A and B are shown apart, each in its own frame.
Chain A
């Protein structure tokens, strides 16, 4: 089955065409036929890119004013005889949509119908910067491809298995019941995918494994995956909480917020931008939000870059310990995302000296881990496996689309865990 995967942002539509089926999922043999993006939607010089494996990349600049026009343009380019991959649009048998926030309403991917669309609409309040654009793409694609099923896959759904003790904040309970303020967690598709792949790499059923997954990219989060279910995760009500990130502060004493508001006379918008865009690796180092540049600055003796790197790795280490304790054991630690997959230095600094937990990193394997491959970087025979698994969120979306349609996953909305109301 050829699945079109769409990920719609405020001014972009990213897409992939993936050929997959239940048998191909089983064999981990899905094929990405094409990938690309429309960027700068709303401007006269919007840019469309299409990359087909083995072919010259295709680029075009055109005025694309809104999401419907962008999706329309994507469909057109996919069937273009010169650089497309489809003979006709009817080859697309289903569309998988990335949705950032499913609130407590969606604990798994779901077949979209008007009722589901209305439920997604209700989650807009929780992700006002993301869900409206996701929805705009969904509406556009449903009107342009009305004859095929559309599946929504949520970043938050995987973490809906968390128990209330992990997701309720120590705030007045009314904030939860009135405004649904609680931990939701993000990067769910990635944590789910790499935990399944880790089990596969170890040749053991996921149902008997306690895995800590570390998604370290531009945004960073960790999850405690207990026998295939998310038991806790570091991001919270928003993607700001938890680990140190490129420009996000991560965990913070909440009392700092009113202090800064009072002392610096900043507006709420400036404070929000400060926490999300001027903090983290960039805020501490003053060098960059990019880990590669932080590592390069460390090598030249830049002390603030070193401090930023130390804090980054220290937080990962603390969460590994915390999640091992939360799950009552640990079988594997998995790294993924741009930093997780490509920085032996971060993996090493985060996990060295954790033999007491059974973590023993193999220095050579960690250093030589090949980009794009699933590998173990722990010493053979170590009690806890350490894996590097390249994430592939689009593949998860395509796979969920097939699973929902194939009856392996429920096609209706499954609500997540809720605390008493």
Chain B
């Protein structure tokens, strides 16, 4: 999903994109889902039919890694799987010209560790696109221990071309956004588990109290509770801080398959368009 969203945003910015996946079936599926994403954006008035056509025209799908050789910049978007990412990096390092930056899309993994042993580790850096990629304005750009300034500056310029704000960071578990938001989500889940307030009330309190677009639990549902669990476990492992120890209620929901908006159920319930169904009466827009 992340790779698809990034490809959409890059094409929307007027740049050509090569999307590479392992099999033809997978690239076909990505193409179909990408067109579906654009259709949903048209329904939300965010795009026009002709813009959709132009976006699709700039995206090329392939299964061949060698097709990426002509690109000016490469972004890998495998889910947070260290070994799989490492394997791909080794292959890319051999295919791409040494000056082409390789960007690892991650919110938790170590850039320096992933770059270790490559022929050109200095061109590797991290980028953390936040959900939803097409509308979120910020991208974390993360410098590893040996990342060179040229690659880093190219990446920052690229983020600006996408119409987003690059936040310059040094490598640290969870970077900024994940590290700060995870304890909030985890604590909200603890409050629910302790019976202090219902999930709906916890979210409403934080949403209205601090002028958030969504409460932390709905936000977690929209990101996917399996991802939240994965991130928390990783941060807990890396830092040893108990604030990152996953709240049991999150684990329970994930084990039950209630991973959030995409499957229709998490802390809250959602329809097929991922609109929340169980909003409290006070959770409606007011102009005064």
Contacts and interface: CB of A to CB of B under 8 A. Distances in A.
Contacts of B286: 262
Contact of A258 (B45, B48, B287): B287
Contacts of B16: 43-44
Contacts of A269: 46, 135
Interface residues of B, number: 15
A32 interface: no
B45 A273 contact: yes
B135 A42 contact: no
A186 B287 CA distance: 33
Contacts of B58: 43
Contacts of A259: 287
Interface in B20-46: 41, 44-46
B14 A270 contact: no
B48 A262 contact: no
A263 B285 contact: yes
B69 interface: no
Interface string B277-288: 000000001110
A266 interface: yes
Interface string B102-135: 0000000000000000000000000000000001
A273 B42 CA distance: 10
B249 interface: no
Q: Is the interface of B mostly helix, strand, loop or mixed?
A: loop
Nearest to A275: B45
Q: Interface residues of A toward B: which range? A: 20 to 34
B47 interface: yes
Contacts of A11: 14
A278 interface: yes
Contacts of A263: 285
A266 B46 CA distance: 9
Contacts of A262: 285-287
A266 B41 CA distance: 10
Interface string A311-338: 0000000000000000000000000000
B44 A266 contact: yes
B48 A278 contact: yes
B242 to A, nearest CB: 36
Given A11-B14, A267-B135, A274 B287 contact: no
A254 to B, nearest CB: 13
Contacts of A42: 14-15
A273 B47 contact: yes
Contacts of A266: 44-46
Nearest to A260: B45
Nearest to B51: A277
A56 B285 CA distance: 60
A273 B285 contact: no
Contacts of A277: 45, 48, 51
Contact of A278 (B45, B135, B287): B45
Interface of A: 10-11, 42-44, 247, 258-259, 262-263, 265-267, 269-271, 273-274, 277-278
8 nearest A-B residue pairs (beta carbon): A262-B285, A274-B45, A270-B46, A278-B45, A277-B48, A273-B46, A270-B44, A270-B45
